[in-house]
Structure 1
């Protein structure tokens, strides 16, 4: 993830004609402006005060060059607050540009790249969405921008498990997305399946940071949980085939908890409603849509202190020399996508399409 230093962000924003304030000073939180984080700020409260359409998630998406997590704000960070039409305030692109290294040199194409994704993961990857979904559109544009001469095919392989288990290792495909990467600096804390994401694959720069939330019923014994340790003893549901490395890192594994999985993504909320599990946890964007579809909006509580973020990448097998040589194409194109502001436009449009549907 790109990260802008506090002083650089302040300088660029000021050069663009916006005034920042020292920590502790009162400052309006308004749409289509820049806001400087002060002590005690919380992203959700900033979004609410500025009436950001889509709330804290949209505000986080607009500031991934600055924020590493929706729960980690630092005094002095400068946040771009989206305008009413969803665009970014004038000067935001300058902050991104100032924090970004020059694009890497890409290798010459040797043959078409075979790139795979899967469906039924709206808004990120879905055959029925325009352009195949948010991340599909980003990968497609990154390839075009990174090296227009490189031929490639993006195909939907809906057996998600085959991507990392079979297709990438045997070279049937060169790249696969959107897959989530653990903290590979702590691979020793991961189970074998999670650790293999570090040991067997290389990764692109992050395309998107998903927000992972924990949900319970209002009034449950876990409704006031302040840390993952408060969930010890709970029955926790996460949909089948979803990553578990974040749970492993938080020691939310047997015997500390009872882990429950279900084939259907929205099946976890049915189990919660039936009293068969205590906690549901997965990507907040589809989870909130599943809550609405189940008619449980007034019954479910979000455990905000436990909220986290995980980055989505393009994966390549470490044994595929051609794919590894081509990986800089993806990274160079993604960099240009962010610099131009097209990245945020794709995010905004994709989320809006999901809400409308």
Structure 2
């Protein structure tokens, strides 16, 4: 089996172009179904059949799922197409206290037992080592100090190993996030980078040039992970009952510096519909919210909820549950790098196998657990 190598290159940088520092608590919300009814009791290490009125956040809270809404969503990616939409009759798996799936819940490939396996994807240069880069400081996803380099680093390494064990690859930590898409991929110095968020490339005409180039200049792997983006306001404030993106028109939003804005563009949460602050450090957004200088803070729900708890703001912040959205992380390759594009099917084949076998969920669970314990 090919083993990846971890390299350290370039000094650490705090300029995270499309990611943010994130640790520990996973939480967000689900979209309320119409015609609410009395929700059935939910328990850890069991299954739950969705009824009218259910939403992921209340199921997770009632059952006491460690990691909340995001952990429950992660356990049911084979059932749920969206983190915000539940359908009556769906059977959800509720993780056990230690984060594992209940006994007997196994994700396996369908098909006959004697069916011949599909041949492993290959490249025209099998002897050439694929250069794959990430950066540190984005726990639990990518971090030099985390086991295996973080859960997404482990996921990409395992996808390569499972997708084609004969393909050599080197895993590098290049801790200047901005250089990944701006220099390293276009120059061919690196073949692949991760984890980068991808806009809706089917609507590239709606994107700003700063967002559209993620579609026009790069190809992408299948989704590695879906992170949740939350919207937060002061409890009792003017926008605490906002239920649609248009309800925020006229508000002042704070999206921390170096973060993407393509999701805001898609929902028309851009000037002149809103005033947008994007040059503020992550914790600075919360200070502006407290001071009444902005109405809404919006970013990755994972670090957001950890941040406001650490700042002692729990109870003062209202999460706008109906506005929670999902954005997916991918491996990016330059459209001009033929070798890297040939290797993308290896990542995709391995990733599919990880999901079918349940290893994908185990990597996510262990990565989150290791971050919380450390």
Q: Quick check: 1:107 aligned with 2:119? A: no
- Deviations 1:36-94, CA, capped at 9 Å, x for gaps: 22222211122123222222111001111221222111222221111122111234324
- Deviations 1:94-148, CA, capped at 9 Å, x for gaps: 4x5349xx76731142411111112221211122222221211111111121122
Q: Quick check: 1:295 aligned with 2:307? A: no
* DSSP-derived class of the 2:109 partner: helix
Structure 2 counterpart of 1:85, from 82, 98, 109: 98
* DSSP-derived class of the 2:181 partner: helix
Distance 1:249 1:45 in 2: 28
Q: Quick check: 1:29 aligned with 2:39? A: no
* CA distance 1:46–1:97, shift in 2 (3 Å): farther
Distance 2:51 2:303 in 1: 31
**Structure 2 contact 140–368 (Cα < 8 Å) conserved:** yes
* CA distance 1:299–1:114, shift in 2 (3 Å): same
Please list, as runs of the form range in 1=range in 2, the aligned pairs for 1:46-195 lying within 5 A after superposition: 46-94=59-107, 97-98=109-110, 105-108=120-123, 109-195=126-212
**Structure 1 contact 122–286 (Cα < 8 Å) conserved:** no
Which structure is higher in RCO with an 8 Å CA cutoff and minimum separation 6? 2
Distance 2:311 2:144 in 1: 24
Larger CA deviation: 215-224 vs 268-277: 268-277
* CA distance 1:296–1:54, shift in 2 (3 Å): same
Aligned residue pairs, count: 331
- Deviations 1:142-175, CA, capped at 9 Å, x for gaps: 1121122211111122221221122111211110
Of Structure 1 and Structure 2, the greater helix share is in 1
**Structure 1 contact 177–315 (Cα < 8 Å) conserved:** yes
**Structure 2 contact 256–285 (Cα < 8 Å) conserved:** yes
Distance 2:62 2:184 in 1: 47
Partner of 1:323: 340
**Structure 2 contact 120–164 (Cα < 8 Å) conserved:** no
Aligned-residue offset at 1:355: 3.0
* CA distance 1:318–1:299, shift in 2 (3 Å): same
Structure 2-normalised TM-score?
A: 0.83
Aligned-residue offset at 1:206: 0.7
Please list, as runs of the form range in 1=range in 2, the aligned pairs for 1:294-313 lying within 5 A after superposition: 294-313=311-330
- Deviations 1:269-304, CA, capped at 9 Å, x for gaps: 222223322111111111111112222122211110
Q: Quick check: 1:215 aligned with 2:228? A: no
Partner of 1:278: 295
Structure 1 counterpart of 2:366, from 349, 353, 357: 349
Distance 2:239 2:201 in 1: 30
Partner of 1:242: 259
Q: Quick check: 1:340 aligned with 2:353? A: no
The alignment yields a C-alpha RMSD, in angstroms, of 2.1
Structure 1-normalised TM-score?
A: 0.87
Q: Quick check: 1:39 aligned with 2:52? A: yes
